[in-house]
Amino acid sequence: MDDFDRFWQWANKPLDSGLAIPADIHHAVTSLPLEARRDRAKVNEAVRIVQETGHTALHRP
């Protein structure tokens, strides 16, 4: 399971679920424009950048 799958599994979880994701994944994905969040390559790259640099280089338009 890659970061794209982990984010969307978390985002689509039932309300009573205790499923959580690391903050770096959440931050990386939510920093992307809405349309980019459905692109596996963009999501995985954004998470990689956040994990390597400790911050996001991504900006919302």
User: For the chain, how many structural domains are there in total?
Assistant: 1
User: Taking the model in full, what pTM does it have?
Assistant: 0.83
Q: Are 13 and 19 in contact (CB under 8 A)?
A: yes
pLDDT of amino acid 18:
96
Would 17 be classed as within a structural domain? no
The CB density around residue 28, as the number of other CB atoms within 10 Å, is: 25
Which residue range forms the structural domain that includes residue 34?
Answer: 1-10+22-61
Residue 54: predicted pLDDT: 79
Give a yes or no: residue 43 inside a domain: yes
Mean predicted confidence (pLDDT) in 10-23? 96
Q: Which of 33, 32, 30, 24 is nearest to 55 (CA)?
A: 24
User: pLDDT digits over 29-47, tens only?
Assistant: 999 999 999 999 999 999 9
The answer to whether residue 15 sits within a structural domain is: no
Cβ atoms of 10 and 21 within 8 Å: the answer is: yes
What is the distance between the alpha carbons of residues 15 and 47, in angstroms, rounded to a whole number? Answer: 25
For 43, which DSSP code? H
For residue 56, pLDDT beyond 90: no
